[in-house]
Amino acid sequence: MSTELLFTILYTFAFGAILATGEILHTILKVKTEYTRKFSHSAASLLSLTFPLVYSSYVYVLVMGIIFFFVLLFAQHKDLLRSINDVARKTYGGVLLPVAICGTFVISVWMNDAKLFIIPVLLLGVSDSLAGITGVAFGSKVRKIIIHNLRLKKTYLGSSVFFVSSLLISIYTLHWFVGNFSTQTIMAAISVALGAAIVEAFSSRGLDNFTVPFTALVLLAMFNAAL
């Protein structure tokens, strides 16, 4: 058995354990679905950050992504995994998460650039979750974003939290990869944070699980030559 295949089996069990933990938190400990969703979302995203340390190609990650996409799609259709799906609104966030993680990893391997995976997934696992938790905790007490006659479902507070956390993540992760705080690095970080914050604010029904990481990836790729 190859090392990559062994790790794929271990990852599969680990992701399954994350889902099982969410079910325990929701079913037994009665933790609200909004929080168990964010737990599973963040834990899966952060665990996937170790992929570049393990895999030299994207094949096994792609296979895992396809498997979990169909598992989550089936669970949503059959009203299973209530720690993720027990919400009143229609959301595609759960099934889009493996698509985003695997998609950004595949592209980062193609382009031989790990930061095209690391930064988008950090924004997905940290910034998006912080913004979501802030919205759940304070959503009824703060103003939602209104642009002319367009009323968004996101709040000014949540989007601000998303932008600030994304900016800090982008700056320090780019510094770690590039090795300096140059003007180009700062501009790239601001562009990534602002672009991701804008699409996150406009994305509803869990589509931000797709739009945020791929927006970040595209913007990072655009700045690649200058970094």
Residue ranges covered by each domain of the chain? 3-226
pTM of the model: 0.92
Distance CA(114)–CA(19), nearest Å, equals 26
Distance CA(47)–CA(22), nearest Å, equals 15
Q: What is the pLDDT along the chain (227 residues), one digit of tens a residue?
A: 789 999 999 999 999 999 999 999 999 999 988 899 999 999 999 999 999 999 999 999 999 999 999 999 999 988 889 989 887 777 888 899 999 999 999 999 999 999 999 999 999 999 999 988 887 777 655 566 666 666 667 778 888 999 999 999 999 999 999 887 888 899 999 999 999 999 998 888 889 999 999 999 999 999 886 67
State in Å, rounded, how far the first CA of the chain is from the last one: 39
Rounded to whole angstroms, the maximal C-alpha distance in the chain is 59
The pLDDT of residue 93 is 83
Q: CB under 8 Å to 79, separation ≥6 — which residues?
A: 85
Neighbours of 16 (CB within 10 A): 12
Q: CB under 8 Å to 224, separation ≥6 — which residues?
A: 113
Provide the CB-side half-sphere exposure for 4 (13 A, CA). 14
Q: Are 27 and 83 in contact (CB under 8 A)?
A: yes
Burial class (CB in 10 A: 0-12, 13-18, 19+), 100: buried
- Residues 124-175 have pLDDT tens digits of 999 999 988 887 777 655 566 666 666 667 778 888 999 999 999 999 999 9
Distance CA(149)–CA(140), nearest Å, equals 20
Q: Are 165 and 127 in contact (CB under 8 A)?
A: yes
